[in-house]
Each structure stands twice: as structure tokens, then as C-alpha cells.
Chain A
């Protein structure tokens, strides 16, 4: 068996009496898309934050590329190669699309303490940024202000910025949300190719996309992983059917 790139062991996080993450262990293997599904309030976003470094876990460890990154913060984990897209687009809204992508390339480059040469005339940076925009199909919007992008385009820009970081692993929090049918179909195709470059831990509500893409699926309910397996295994799993459908009905 190949070594996992990302390995969570016994992660816990509680807010007062609420156990948002309850003993979660899971792995992400090279080349795979591992989908994380679960009803609203299951703790998916909390878990993503714990993995990305924005939220300290109460206990447990996060190992990334064979190294324990538990004590590291967001910045250090990003530098180590953990790319991330947000559930609600998190971009520099006053900037152009290209500037946002250049920011990503700059972050990857690490040469942020340079004070004199115009960054938008730095060919290697701009080329890498542009290449990322081309990959998500935003090259024609490069000069547009990010605030003027449609919701779906912003999601794509998030993915492009993550790509400029040349991440070893991608965490994606509901990239399909608000994309519309054709948009999510295109993104599905794109993510399908992307997995060979970097495996993806995918939080997603769009079940068509999840079942089409995921090599493995983990089901999170009330902060616990109740099942992990292939799409077929998950479909057949009685506990999943009960917990998930029951919870869906209740909601």
C-alpha cells in the first residue's frame, strides 16, 4: 500500500459541550479524490479548518507528506504544500483576477519582501498565474476586477489561485456550490484530471459530482466518521443509509 499524503489521527475539537470533531481519523492517498460528505452541521467545515491550520485541534495529529504538521499554523501548512479553496469565496476583491492569481504565485515563490520591481512585470510570476487561469478557463477574465466576477467564476478563481501554489494536496470546501449544472459538470471534469497532480480532499453537497469523482467517500455525522469506502460500499452501507437519510429527512 502507498503511503498516505495526508493522515488524520484521532482529531478532536469541541466548542463547549458540542463535539464538532469527534475522534476523526482518515487518510488521503496519492492520486485519489477522497470525498467527505454528511448532513449540514456534521462538522465538515470545522474539520477542513483543523486540517488547513486555521483552527487548533483539542487533540489528535495531522500528518502531511510524512511530517507531523499539527503544531503548524495556516501559513506554514500552506507553504508545506497544502492548497485550499473556501466554501465562501475568499479573494482580494479589489484586485483583478490576474492579480489574485499572481498573489498565489508570489506566495509559492516566497519572495514577498521585494519592494521595488513591479510585480505585474515579473514574467515568471505572471506566466505561472496566467497558466493557472488558463487551466480553469478564466484567461479572458484576467483583467476584470474580482468583485465584478460572477459567483461561479469566483469559485474557479479560487481553484486557480490554489493551483499557482503547486500544492501537494488540495482541500476543497464545496467547490460546486452555486455553480449551476453546466458549471459543476465542467468543474467535475477538471477535478477528475487534477487528482493525478494532487490528491483532493473534497467536501461537497453535489452528490452527482461526489459519486462520479470520489475514489473513496467518508461520511461524517455529528463529528464522527461513520463509514469510509468506495462509492458502491457507501451506497450499500446500512448505517450510512439510516444516519444519512434519517438526518436528511429530519432536516
Chain B
């Protein structure tokens, strides 16, 4: 346990330390990479609540990631073109405020997760995997065929959205925002795992019959977990779109779902800092292997295969050498 805690602290500190070092050395691109890792980790923390805590193998989290991205894209594009989103029955205008955008992303992601979850959680196992995958794909095709917001080409936002008191276009300041959000959400996730809700949710993953026998409905637990999970992943999507100043249907693609899942697995399922380790490793691999070969996905695939077949605890599990702690 102590070893895992130490490892978590080191891992977590690695992000700001790297970002600061890059800042000193005047390497803005590296800061952007670390920012990307922090945002993808956030998406993974979201998925990990459903997957690690709840045992819900969602292969459709790109839906929420994309919705968060489009929440940002739609609001900011209307703000930059000074056109309202709608005028009747009441006026809704775009905005460049990150805080408002985050709120909209969280609510949109949560509502979508409520609808998708209410349907998919009627099933379990393989059905659940295939259905979440299908709903993600549904939004992907919707984004492609809906012409108002760029369709297949996506939407560009020229200036990054605003955060009170900070210059968001400065890489290190934007990193600070993303890292701050990640830290807050990690704190919330750690409390959630230990809360009454977390105890019951994780018990439902281990043994649903047991939970029913003590008078708790697993479906409700899972649905709430799915909503929280979707909302966090949507928040990550909004930040990701802001990082790139661009949204496109790719955010909805099932590869995105797969990648978010890969962060969680590479790091270690059900471990609080697993997604952080996984996302950092993923970005590192993308950068290092991608520099060596155009076909770096082959190596990523092989690595993933090896982790799944032989190192089931992921990076943290291998380094900390212990099963998931549940206390």
C-alpha cells in the first residue's frame, strides 16, 4: 500500500515537474504534450469510475468525450461569430468562458450518459460492450452528417476560451488549468471510491446478488456511476477541444473509446492513478515510437497485448506489485 501511494505521488508530480522543466527550457511543445496527457488522464479517470469501480466495460466513452468537445465547439463558435445558438423560445448565446463551457459539457455528458446508461444497463456482459460501442458510433455518424457545425471537417476555434485571471494561450498557464482540474477530479474520485456509494458500487461489481440481498438495487448504483463517469469524460473532452482549438467527429470515433480504455488498462484498472500513469505512458509512447516509425500503432498493439496477457495489474500493478487496494 505504502509503495503504491509513493508511486502515485511520484507519478502525479511528474506531470507538473515535466511541464515546469519544459517551461524553463522554453519547450512549449513539451508543455502541450504534458497538458494533453493530463487531459487524457482526466478522461480515463472518468471511465475508471464506470470500469474500475463499477465493472462496467463501456466501449462508448468517446460519446461523452465528443459531446464535451462539441459543447465547447458549439458555444465558442457562436461566440466568435456573434450569432446566438437559438433565439426562440428564449435567447441562448455562445460563450468564450471556460467555466460556463465546462458546466455545459458536464451537464450534456451526464444527461447523455443517463440516456445511454438507462438503455445499456438493462443488459450485461458482451451486450453492454456492444451497445455502448454502438451508441458511441451513433453520435459519430450524427456529428458527420449534421452540417451546421462543420460536419466531417469539424470546427476550428481561433482563440482559446477564457479563464478568469489567466492567459489561456500561454501553454504553461493552460497546463495549470488542466492539471488543476485533474487534481480536483482525482480528489473527488478518491473520495467517491471510499464513500458509501463507492462501497456499494464496487460490491455490486464483485457480487450483484449480495448487494440485492442487503436491499440495494445494483441498477441504480450503476446508472449513477455511469452518469458521473460520462460527465467527467465530457469535461475532459471540453478541455481537449480547447487544447487543440478544434473539434471534429474523430473525438466520437470508437478508436477514441478504445484509447481511453487503453489508458486505464495500461495504468491499471481500478487504481486511482492508473489513468494518469496510462495516459502519460501513452503520450510518451506516441512521441517516442511515433518518432521512430510511422507504424508505431503496431508496437502499441503488441505492448497492449502483452499487458493484457501477462501483466494484468497494468503499470502501477507491475511497479507496486500488489492487487488493487479497496480500503
Shortest Cβ gap from A117 to chain B (Å): 6
What residues on A are CB-neighbors of B197 within 8 Å?
A: 112-115
0 or 1 for each of B237-269: is its CB under 8 Å from A? (1 = yes): 000000000000000000000000000000000
Chain B residues closer than 8 Å to A112, beta-carbon distance: 196-197, 200, 216, 221
Say whether B283 faces chain A, with CB atoms less than 8 Å apart: no
Question: A90-B213, A104-B214, A122-B196 in contact; A95/B203 too (CB < 8 A)?
Answer: yes
CB distance from B271 to the nearest CB of A (A): 13
B229 to chain A, nearest CB (A): 13
User: Is B186 close to A, CB under 8 A?
Assistant: no
Question: Does A108 lie at the interface of the complex (its beta carbon under 8 Å from any beta carbon of B)?
Answer: yes
CB contacts (< 8 Å) of B297 on chain A: these are: none
Partner of B207, one of A91, A107, A115, A165: A91
Is A92 a contact of B210 with CB atoms below 8 Å?
Answer: yes
Are A108 and B215 within 8 A (Cβ)? yes
Q: Does A79 contact B (CB under 8 A)?
A: yes
Given A99-B327, A112-B221, check contact A119 B210 (CB 8 Å).
no
In angstroms, Cα B203 to Cα A117, docked, is 17
A93 within 8 A of B: yes
* Bound-state Cα–Cα, A93 to B202, Å: 11
Contact B216 A75 (CB under 8 A): yes
Contact A90 B327 (CB under 8 A): no
Known contacts A103-B199, A103-B203; decide if A118 and B211 are in contact (CB<8 Å): no
List the A side residues contacting B200 at CB < 8 Å. Answer: 103, 106-107, 112
Q: Judging by beta carbons under 8 Å apart, are A118 and B191 in contact?
A: yes
Please state if B195 and A78 are interface contacts (CB–CB under 8 Å): no
**CB neighbors of B among A83-128 (8 A):** 84, 86, 90-96, 99-100, 102-104, 106-108, 110-120, 122, 125
State the Cβ distance, B211 to closest chain A Cβ, in Å. 7
Q: Which residues of B contact A104 (CB under 8 A)?
A: 214
A116 and B215 form a contact (CB under 8 A): no
Number of interface residues, chain A, beta carbon within 8 A: 41
Interface pair B207/A106, CB less than 8 Å apart: no
A114 engages B196 (CB within 8 Å):
yes
Instruction: Specify which chain B residues have a CB less than 8 angstroms from the CB of A76 in the assembled complex.
Output: 215
Most chain A C-beta atoms within 10 Å of own C-beta, residue among B194, B221, B323: B194
Find out whether the CB atom of B209 lies under 8 angstroms from the CB atom of A165.
no
Shortest Cβ distance from A67 into chain B, in angstroms?
Answer: 16
Does B287 interact with chain A (Cβ within 8 Å)? no
CB distance from A18 to the nearest CB of B (A): 23
Closest to B323 in A: A94
Residues of A within 8 A of B211 (CB): 103, 107
CB distance from A109 to the nearest CB of B (A): 8
List the A side residues contacting B323 at CB < 8 Å.
94
Asked whether A75 and B215 contact (CB < 8 A) given A103-B203, A117-B195, A119-B198, the answer is: yes
Q: Is the CB of A118 within 8 A of B194?
A: yes
Cβ distance A63 to chain B, nearest Cβ, rounded Å: 19
- Closest B residue to A116 by CB, please name it: B191
Confirm or deny: A25 has a beta carbon within 8 angstroms of a beta carbon on chain B: no
Judge if B289 is at the interface, Cβ distance under 8 Å.
Answer: no
What 0/1 pattern do residues 171 to 198 of B give for CB contact below 8 A with A?
0000000000000000000011011111
**Chain A's nearest CB lies how many Å from the CB of B201?**
9
With a cutoff of 8 Å between Cβ atoms, the chain A residues found around residue B212 in the complex are 54, 73-75, 78
Q: In the complex, what distance in Å separates the CA atom of A108 from the CA atom of B216? A: 9
Given A90-B209, A103-B211, A108-B215, 12 additional A-B pairs, CB 8 A:
A76-B215, A78-B215, A86-B209, A92-B202, A94-B202, A95-B203, A96-B326, A99-B199, A103-B203, A112-B216, A119-B194, A120-B199
**Sorted from nearest, which 10 A-B pairs have the closest CB atoms?**
A107-B214, A78-B215, A79-B215, A92-B206, A118-B194, A92-B203, A119-B196, A107-B215, A74-B212, A114-B196
A-B contact pairs, 26 of them (CB 8 A): A73-B212, A78-B215, A90-B209, A91-B207, A92-B203, A94-B324, A95-B202, A103-B211, A106-B216, A107-B216, A112-B200, A114-B195, A114-B197, A115-B197, A116-B191, A116-B195, A118-B191, A118-B194, A119-B194, A119-B196, A119-B198, A120-B199, A120-B327, A122-B196, A125-B196, A161-B213
